[in-house]
Chains A and B, each alone.
Chain A
Amino acid sequence: MKTISNKARFVFFVLVLVLFTLAAGAPFATGTVGG
């Protein structure tokens, strides 16, 4: 149970970090959306 919980927390942390990165960064890339 503890392992599952740790994995879930880790996945959530990575998800938050990815969303923060997308929201906080402001690069402009051709051929993509949102930079």
Chain B
Amino acid sequence: MILVVAVLVGLAAGLCRAKYGKREYRGYDLKAAGLVLLAFIPQGFIFFLPSTRTRIPDETASFLFIISLVVLIIFSLFNIRKPSFWPITGGFLLNALVILLNGGWMPISPEMVQRLLPDSTAGDWMVGERLGYSKDIVLLPENTRLWFLSDRFSLPDWINYQVAFSPGDIILFVGIVWLLWSLGGPKSVNV
């Protein structure tokens, strides 16, 4: 959910930029946008809908998640020619790569889980198992392929919001803000 903040921040910045420059906020023509809707449907059932995510076995969820990622990769290829979409695509592909190489889940270390869930008790989570109904699987760093691309960052303690995120998530965040900011700029800028 934290990445939705990037959309809000980028939109606000872009709209302010357009208003300040007395320009119209430009539209952006994404190709094959229907693929995103198609890819989100299984993820909605697996991760977001409480009534369905508790009923789908992890193996099925992982399979559907991978299919969803493949659909998103196809969508990214359709839009690869748009320079402003490169960081977004890059961030997503880094996430997809580490997920695909680790059995269809985003790795997170036990140390990070303990940091985020200090009150959790034995049995709440286990190494080698999916973490709740999230996209994450708890793996030791030495058993993680491309560990440096996993959910290994967290916010400073003084921020009262506990979240772990990956380098791909950071690039996604920056890319979304940049794209939405650029749409408030002059038309001569190629986006």
Give residues in A with beta carbon < 8 Å to B.
6, 9-10, 12-14, 16-35
Contact = CB atoms under 8 A, between A and B. Distances in A.
A32 B53 CA distance: 13
Interface SS of chain B: helix, strand, loop or mixed? helix
Given A16-B37, A29-B1, A35-B47, A24 B108 contact: no
B91 A24 contact: yes
B66 interface: no
A12 to B, nearest CB: 7
B28 interface: yes
Nearest to B133: A33
Contact of A24 (B2, B72, B133, B151): B72
B144 interface: no
B72 A21 contact: no
Interface in B21-43: 25, 27-28, 30, 33, 36-37, 39-40, 43
Interface in B51-86: 53, 68, 72, 75
Contacts of A17: 7, 176, 179-180
A31 B75 CA distance: 30
Interface SS of chain A: helix, strand, loop or mixed? helix
A7 to B, nearest CB: 10
Contacts of A33: 47-48, 50, 53, 133-134
B30 A16 contact: yes
26 contacts: A6-B27, A12-B33, A13-B27, A13-B30, A14-B7, A14-B11, A16-B37, A18-B7, A19-B36, A19-B37, A20-B36, A20-B88, A22-B40, A23-B39, A23-B72, A24-B92, A24-B95, A26-B169, A27-B1, A28-B134, A29-B2, A29-B161, A33-B134, A34-B134, A34-B135, A35-B136
